[in-house]
Amino acid sequence: MTIYNLYVFDRNGTCLYYESWNRRKESNMSKDEEFKLMYGMLYSIKSFVARMSPSESKDGFLNYRTSKYKLHFYETPTGLKFIMNTDLSVGTTRDVLFNIYSKIYVEYVVKNPLCRLDEPIQSELFASKLDTYIRSLNIFN
């Protein structure tokens, strides 16, 4: 099992944070372009899933998988979006993404008054806490 990369988007589509661990192939476009493409796709999938659902669903879009990887999605009620790509053997990661939000983002970004909430995260403390957390997960190896 392994984790490839992680994106954090705010409610306006700004990519607040990106980090990759075991990504072997780059998308051969600029990071900015890639973030826009990713956000646009998520936006469309969300609306697609909501419209196509045959009944009211509480959670909406959770993940998708291809033959090579699985994309996990978690959105907070405030519109923050956490996206993690892993290999196919990883099960649900809702707890993991929620922990990244509640234990790392809220603690080291929201509670740091010097971190603006609508700009990419510069905090090194956040980056190192996140890295430590991701590496400690048993789905990382």
Partner 1 sequence: MSRQSAVRADNRKVSAELFVLTHGALVAQLVKDYESDEEVNKQLDKMGYNIGVRLVEDFLARSNVGRCHDFRETADVIAKLGFKMFLGFSPVITNWSAASDEFSLILDNNPMAEFAELPEGHEGLLFSNILCGVLRGALEMVQMEVDVWFVQDALRGDETTEIRLKFIRKLEDALPAGED
Interface contacts to partner 1, rule CB under 8 A: 11-13, 36, 39-40, 43, 58, 76-80, 98, 101-103, 105-107, 110-111, 117, 125, 128-129
Residue with smaller CB distance to partner 1, 19 or 129: 129
Structure tokens at 133: 């957390």
Residue with smaller CB distance to partner 1, 49 or 129: 129
- Least Å distance, CB 29 to partner 1, is 12
Residue with smaller CB distance to partner 1, 4 or 9: 9
- Least Å distance, CB 55 to partner 1, is 15
CA distance 130 to 141: 16
CA distance 129 to 131: 5
- Least Å distance, CB 58 to partner 1, is 7
Residue with smaller CB distance to partner 1, 22 or 132: 132
CA distance 23 to 86: 10
